[in-house]
Amino acid sequence: MEISEKKEQGAMILELNGRLDAVTAPGFGEKVLQVIEGGENKLVLALEGLEYVSSAGLREFLKAAKKMKSVGGKIALCSMKDYVREIFDMSGFASLIPIKDSVDQAVEEVTA
């Protein structure tokens, strides 16, 4: 799993590439926590390169959303492959975290 970051219109964008599973989820969770504790309160997780997400990965998304809410920030997911989106829909996470089609839409969501 690779995570790259960039800043756009006041939002921190983390791009995920690879598999988010029991092995890689803790590192992802640590990265998100570092970003939030570093003062970022507008976070976009771009998932175009995400090939797979397990229940451990879903748990990290939920922890990120809760942490962001606790600091008064906003989080959005975007650019999911159809089969990854299906996992979010079936698990009910789609109703907990905004999911947008593009990075631009997600940035607009968190900066509005």
Q: What is the CATH number of domain 2-111?
A: 3.30.750.24
* Predicted TM-score (pTM) above 0.85: yes
> C-alpha distances in angstroms, 76 versus 15, 22, 23, 36, 89?
12, 22, 23, 14, 15
Per-residue pLDDT, 54 = 95
Q: What is the pLDDT of residue 55?
A: 94
Per-residue DSSP letter, 112? -
User: Where do the H-state alpha helices sit in 38-102?
Assistant: 55-70, 82-91
pLDDT digit string (tens) for the chain, length 112 residues = 999 999 999 999 999 999 999 999 999 999 999 999 999 999 999 999 999 999 999 999 999 999 999 999 999 999 999 999 999 999 998 889 999 999 999 999 999 9
Give the per-residue pLDDT at 94: 87
